[in-house]
A and B are shown apart, each in its own frame.
Chain A
Amino acid sequence: MGPVIICRCEEITDEEIAAAVAEGAASPREVRLRTRAGMGVCGGRTCRHAVARLLAEAGLPEAPGPRWRPPVRPVLLGDLSRRPDGGEGPCA
C-alpha cells in the first residue's frame, strides 16, 4: 500500500515516524521535534492519537503527549486584540 500520511498538515508518513523511532525518538514530543508531526496548522489535533498509537505499536511505554497550549481554539490576533466595545487599541 505504501507509506501512509499520519500528520496531514506537515505531510509526515508512518515510515518517517518509524525512522525517527529507529533513531531514538521515544515519545510523541521527540517524534514531533524530529519530524514536525504534530507541529502543523491544526496543532496536532488530527495526528496526535495516530502518533501515540504508532509509538505504542513500536513497544514504547506510554509518554505524555503534547500539551494543549492556549489559545486552545484557533483565534485571529485581531479578534484577541479587539476591545469589548469593538474598538481597536488598549482597553482603558
Chain B
Amino acid sequence: MRISEHPALGATPAGKAVTFFWRGQPVQGREGEPVGAALLALGVRTLRYSSSGAPRGLYCGIGHCFECRVTIDGVPGLRACLTPLRAGMAVEPEGSPEQEAAAHGG
C-alpha cells in the first residue's frame, strides 16, 4: 500500500516504476521513494534482525531511531526511511535470526 493522496502533504509525485532487488529477488518500486516505503508497499516489514534475533523494521520513519537500517549495494547501516530508491539497488537485511542468536548468545 502506498499513500497517493496525503491529507496534509497533498499528492505524492508519481515516480517512475523501477526494478530493484530485495534478498536477491527482483521487485518493483517507484524511483525516488524511500526504500522502506517501497518495501512496505511490497508487504515487507522485517528489514533486519536485532542482537537477540528479533525482527525489526520501520519505527520512527524519520531517520532518528536507526531501526530500519539495511545494506544497500554492499554498504551497511543505511536508513531505509531516508534513502531514495534508485533502479537496480540491491537491498539486503542485516543479519538473520540464527546469526544474531549465535553471535550474541540469544
Contacts and interface: CB of A to CB of B under 8 A. Distances in A.
Contacts, number: 23
Label chain B's interface by main secondary structure: loop
B64 A46 contact: yes
Contacts of A40: 66
B65 interface: yes
A43 to B, nearest CB: 8
Interface in A37-77: 40-42, 45-46, 74, 76
A11 interface: yes
Interface size class of B (residues with CB under 8 A): 10 to 19
Interface of A: 8-11, 40-42, 45-46, 74, 76
19 contacts: A8-B65, A8-B67, A9-B66, A10-B51, A11-B50, A11-B52, A11-B54, A40-B66, A41-B66, A41-B69, A41-B77, A42-B64, A42-B65, A45-B64, A45-B65, A46-B60, A46-B64, A46-B65, A74-B66
